[in-house]
Structure 1
Amino acid sequence: FFVRDTRRVIQEAAQKYCFACSKMGATITCWKMGCDRSFHLPCAPQGECVTQFFGLYRSFCWEHRPQQAVQAHPRQNNTCSICLDTVEDKTSYRTMVCPACQDAHFHRHCIQRLALHAGICFHCPCCQNQEPFLMEMLTMGIRVSKRAPSWESDPAVEALDRRHSRCDTGTCLCPGGRMHTEEEGPWELLLCSSCAAEGTHRHCSSLENGTSSWECKGC
């Protein structure tokens, strides 16, 4: 953006009031031709407004915002597929439905939180559909992060992906130490066939070369 354009927008916004909070400085105006409703971005949820975070980045007031065309309605006492709390008995600004399976319902704030965390892996939490689901959510004003899922950088998740790699016997006999391992022979490391959380060198547990499985004392 050019500095002069930014200044012009600020000057224009100073003359507009937000229909949601009734304060001045509203920089967003409904895209619908002939509609002069303006609002602050933080006031969008309060006013049930939608901003599409793709393409032309259009924004709409509560009256002209896009509606889901899905005809399926939540069953009585149906719950959000994400937080499991009860959802409304019809689709609305706050209650949304997957256009693919038409069975997954969720609160807007729940699916928005999931979209920011899932990033490029964002899909329906029930049917796993991605293409139609993604476009529908973008159209309905859900902001989707373009980065990798947040949980991929979580140390706890990374630890789950790592294979156990040490000998846990009371006395490790390997000259190379507990962390040393070879593809075969007496220093091949076998993991517990039940929990995979403990390991042993063949020689440290007196296992023959033909033995393919072993269980730790805890299992």
Structure 2
Amino acid sequence: CFVCGQTGATITCCDTDCDLSFHLPCAKEGGCVTQFIPPYRAFCPAHSPEQAVEVTPEPGTQCLICMEPVEDRKTYSTMVCPACKSTWFHRDCIQNQAIHSGFSIFCCPHCQNEYRFLMEMLIMGIRIPRRGPSWEEDGAYEQLYERHSCCDAAACLFPGGRDEAEEEGPWELLLCCSCAAEGTHRHCSGLRDSITSWECDSC
């Protein structure tokens, strides 16, 4: 490995005239780019792809993610959004965002461009997991997808209780037409069977 000097380096630069090899864990320290998309190419620092956009950061420009200063030009560690050309960030910062965002919603943190931004980050060696955002794992927002299913009238009159309802008639459960966060049996709120829309007191 040209980075750590140890044996067992199994990744070789894809440039046909280059024989530099390195370990995957050493890639970051050595400034190497490993692409996590087919054909899964890897490059040493001398042959790594560079961002084509011709732009330099203004003096004092900060990383939009960590708010720390970026370098005064594009480098391995300092990157820019290819769409808006004004959003600068550190490689480590955008990599961390990619890990948490996942493939489905990864985008420029400023202009929200998705396709162009994502494709360039993949080419530049940013690993983007093919999954949803990490903050939606373990059912964190599961309750938001559940339909409200109980009667919130001050006095529920249904013999089966607040959590039961019938498909039609006086005991059909109507949800608030504005928020859908509260419900009532028709009879519990004195509504005729012909009423199909109801709004809760909060709305």
| Preserved CA contact (<8 Å) 1:166 1:189 | no
Aligned equivalents of 2:197 and 2:19: distance in 1? Answer: 77
Q: TM-score, normalised by structure 2?
A: 0.78
Q: Which runs of 5+ in 1 are unaligned?
A: 1-17
1:49 maps to a residue whose letter is C
Give 1:163 shift. Answer: 3.2
Other-structure match for 2:106:
122
SS for the counterpart of 1:189 is strand
**1:95 corresponds to which of 72, 78, 85:** 78
> Per-residue CA shift, 1:18-66, capped at 9, x if unaligned?
2222222211122223333221101111111101122332211122211
Other-structure match for 2:163:
179
Alignment of 1:51-90 (within 5 A): 51-81=34-64, 83-88=65-70, 89-90=72-73
Aligned equivalents of 1:43 and 1:204: distance in 2? Answer: 68
SS for the counterpart of 2:29 is helix
Q: TM-score, normalised by structure 1?
A: 0.73
Q: How many residues align?
A: 198
Moved more, 179-188 or 116-125: 179-188
2:3 maps to a residue whose letter is A
Change (3 A) 1:211 1:59: closer
Moved more, 167-176 or 45-54: 167-176
1:60 maps to a residue whose letter is F
SS for the counterpart of 2:73 is coil
Higher RCO, Cα 8 Å, sep 6+: 2
Aligned equivalents of 2:86 and 2:110: distance in 1? Answer: 8
Q: Which runs of 5+ in 2 are unaligned?
A: none
Other-structure match for 2:130:
146
Other-structure match for 1:13:
none
CA RMSD of aligned residues (A): 3.0
Give 1:67 shift. Answer: 1.0
